[in-house]
Structure 1
């Protein structure tokens, strides 16, 4: 079975349980194409999205570059995410717990805020 089909099946199961987390909202945005669109709206281009979909490990990995030439490395798992920004390939970043009552807009807000802060620091 293809990865996207497995993700759709997973989301269907989670929907019936009523426990949709920010991670599942992000997965849903990935499947619909909205994830790439939102990242573009924030200011990222050259976006690459990878999804690790293993039995015991599920993660959305995003790499890209902003219009102001800032690289991003973003990895979201069910309960936390990692974000790093840099003028070069990002290595150091922050691991942040994802609030239980959040949706995908939480991630988009964090990305936009951190990009703006990074741009101010570089000015």
Structure 2
């Protein structure tokens, strides 16, 4: 079974998605691979943590931090729960998190300063969640 077909089956089994979903994989050299999921006309995003140095608990902490931002009215792509009620799951050797889609503006190629600022922000959020 192909990777894409395996992923479609896993998504339909793990989430309340129809089986006729479409996927678009974005190949980029990063610690995560991004997949756009379209179910009917609704768009979601899946992050697959590839060979990640992050543990399940760390990825769950990140998902909880983003969910907290969403609950406090910040317009973010928040994690959606799987059928088992969890935000983070395993797809083979990958940790996987699906997010709702939100309108926003895309930064095509972040500058070094933008990447550093984003990394610092995420690190601060993770520290706050851990407190």
Q: Which has the higher helix share?
A: 1
Give TM-score scaled by structure 2 length: 0.34
Q: Which has the higher strand share?
A: 1
Give TM-score scaled by structure 1 length: 0.35
